[in-house]
Each structure stands twice: as structure tokens, then as C-alpha cells.
Amino acid sequence: MNISELKESITTLTESNNTVSKKLQLICDLLKQEIEYYDWVGFYFKNGDKQELRLAEFAGEPTEHIIIPFGKGICGQVALSNQNFVVPDVEAQDNYISCGFKVKSEIVIPIFVNNENIGQIDIDSHTVNPFSENDELLLEFVCEKVAKLF
């Protein structure tokens, strides 16, 4: 993973003339394509005034988890904690929502606009414990760029 090249590509995508939806889709596609252990990449955003997240753009297999209540699963926990959450092995998590038997690990990074958690990027991997500090740094950068779209 060449982080500086990916950051350049993300910056170019977020500064393009595409719609926000198209920019988010292109980011999902790029990350899934460029990082071999990113098997599912998606964005969840707060669903209006409800205490739930709604799936937006994603790349990977379709999921039944379109709506996730705050507090439920890894994404729902991040909606409340406002903290990065790296799960090296999903089987070790009590409050995990299974997106499929192939998923072995997950990383979720919140997106902040004016100090408010408006959503997150969610990555699932079919590999146990693939995520490093570099992944967190890259995804925090992605979230900072995405936040500027809102």
C-alpha cells in the first residue's frame, strides 16, 4: 500500500466536479481495488435525527445491514464512542453484527463535521488482523477529506 499515492488519489477524487454520492462511491472502489485485504468498503451516515446509521455508498458484496441502530455492532458502537475501532478478530467481539461468514476483521473510523460525528467509513476484511497503524492513518485522512464534502 503506497499511502502517499492513495492520499493523492483521494484528494483528487474529493476535489472533482462529481456529486458527493459519486465521490464516495469512487473512494470505496479505489480503496477496495488498491488494498488487497479491504474486501468490503462502505460509508454509513447518521439517518436524520434518528439514533441510527444508514448505509450510503459501498464496494463489495451487498449487505442486509442498511440500517444500524446506535450501539449495535462495531459501527453502532463508533456512532456513540466517537473513537476509531479496530477489530483484529470479529469472533472475539460480543457486540458484532455478522456481515457474512468470510469477514474476519473490521476497522471503523468516524467522520466529524463541526465536532459532530456524522458517519463513518467501515472496512471488512476476510483476513484476521490485517489492519495496522497505516490503515488508521489513511482512513482518518479519507474521513477528513470526506468531512469537507458536507
Domain boundaries, the chain: 3-147
SS3 77: helix
Q: Residue 90 — very low, low, confident or very high, per pLDDT cuts 50/70/90?
A: confident
Portion of the chain with pLDDT greater than 70, in percent: 97
Q: What is the pLDDT of residue 98?
A: 67
Q: What is the rounded average pLDDT of the residues 66-84?
A: 96
Where helices occur in the chain by DSSP H, the ranges are 3-14, 20-34, 73-81, 133-147
Where helices occur in 50-132 by DSSP H, the ranges are 73-81
Q: What is the pLDDT of residues 98-143, one digit of tens each?
A: 666 789 999 999 999 999 999 999 999 999 999 999 999 999 999 9
Q: What is the pLDDT of residue 19?
A: 98
Pick from 35-39, 90-94, 130-134: least confident: 90-94
CATH number assigned to the domain covering 3-147: 3.30.450.40
SS3 72: coil
pTM above 0.85, yes or no: yes
105-113 sheet: strands from edge to edge? 67-69, 52-59, 40-46, 116-125, 105-113, 85-87
Q: What is the pLDDT of residue 1?
A: 58
Q: What is the pLDDT of residue 94?
A: 74
Give counts: helices (H), strands (E), the chain: 4, 6
pLDDT score of 96 more than 90:
no
